[in-house]
């Protein structure tokens, strides 16, 4: 099992850690991550799929997810690298998951993909998963606005 090494960085809200599917919940709790952050970005060159799955399975519901995928797989391939907690980038292209595999994962948690950008998928939470604090257009007091 990989050891977790955390070093506080010189700017607020950032830590450096070897993140795994097993320790991500503890890390998020330890650093008091909100259950519904605005944005979650995962780019760890390998276990991105498995860490994202663990985060969503724990009940975290970011409004926007940016997650790396391996563009070398075709659009019809649904594949994920074998989970290896100690895995680090090894200079090859043999890592990550296909776009379709990540799409299936996101679909299962009611996320909708809105863009494929370079090596990243950008997804937004589906309407049934919006946090209760999100207000809808009907909540606006339109008398406080001017048309332009």
Q: Where are the beta strands (DSSP E) in 13-133?
A: 15-16, 39-42, 64-68, 111-117, 120-125
The closest of 59, 69, 57, 61 to 21, measured between CA atoms, is 57
Residue 69 placed within a domain: yes
Q: What is the pLDDT of residue 128?
A: 64
Q: At residue 78, does pLDDT exceed 60?
A: yes
- 101 in any annotated domain: yes
62 part of a folded domain: yes
Residue 29 lies in a domain: no
Q: Which position has the token pair 């607020």?
A: 12
Sort strands 39-42 and 64-68 into parallel, antiparallel or unpaired: parallel
- What DSSP letter does each residue of 9-39 carry, written as one string? -SSTT-EE----TTTHHHHHHHTT--SS-SE
Of the candidates 71, 69, 9, 62, the one whose C-alpha atom is nearest the C-alpha of residue 38 is 62
On whether residue 40 sits in a domain, the answer given is yes
pLDDT digits (tens, 9 = 90+) for 34-66: 999 999 999 998 899 999 999 999 999 999 999
Give the range of the structural domain holding residue 121, as residue numbers without chain letter: 36-130
**86-139 confidence digits (pLDDT tens):** 988 888 888 899 999 999 999 999 999 999 998 999 999 987 655 555 555 556
Residue 146 lies in a domain: no
> In whole angstroms, what is the distance from residue 43 CA to residue 89 CA?
11
What is the spatial order of strands in the sheet that 64-68 belongs to?
39-42, 64-68, 120-125, 111-117
Residue 13 clears pLDDT 80, i.e. is over it: no
Mean pLDDT of the chain: 84
Looking at the 3D structure of the chain, how many domains does it have? 1
Residue 46 falls within a domain, yes or no? Answer: yes
- Asked whether residue 12 is assigned to any structural domain, the reply reads no
Instruction: Provide the pLDDT confidence category of residue 4 given band limits of 50, 70 and 90.
Output: very low
């Amino acid at each position: 099992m990989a050891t977790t090494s955390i070093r506080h960085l010189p700017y607020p809200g950032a830590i450096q850690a070897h993140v795994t599917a097993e320790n991500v919940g503890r890390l998020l709790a330890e650093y008091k991550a909100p259950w519904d952050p605005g944005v979650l970005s995962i780019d760890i060159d390998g276990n991105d799929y498995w860490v994202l799955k663990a985060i969503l399975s724990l009940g975290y519901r970011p409004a926007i997810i940016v997650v790396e995928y391996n563009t070398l797989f075709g659009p019809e391939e649904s594949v994920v690298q074998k989970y290896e907690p100690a895995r680090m980038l090894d200079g090859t292209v043999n890592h990550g998951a296909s776009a379709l595999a990540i799409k299936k994962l996101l679909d299962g948690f009611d996320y909708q993909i809105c863009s494929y950008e370079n090596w990243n998928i950008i997804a937004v939470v589906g309407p049934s998963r919006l946090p209760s604090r999100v207000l809808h257009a009907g909540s606006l007091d339109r008398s406080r606005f001017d048309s332009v």
